[in-house]
Amino acid sequence: MSNEELKRYYDMFTDCWRFFKKYSDVKDTDEYWESVVNESGAISKKHGECKIIINLVLAALTELERISKEMPQNAT
């Protein structure tokens, strides 16, 4: 794999990390989730909606959703 290809992977992982970090303080509001969805779509488009970026974004979204479901105010 070339250095250029590795840089593309690095950029994708870094963008997903920054996305996850930005939204890691999960809020149970429509505004929060709308922002999460919009930014996740923008990241995917930025990287050409290739399989790896879709998988990375989906993993971050899945984890944010898991955190949301485990928040005390959402417990039944």
pLDDT digits (tens, 9 = 90+) for 9-20: 999 999 999 999
| Predicted TM-score (pTM) of this structure | 0.88
pLDDT digits (tens, 9 = 90+) for 11-64: 999 999 999 999 999 999 999 999 999 999 999 999 999 999 999 999 999 999
> Which amino acid appears at position 9 of this protein?
Y
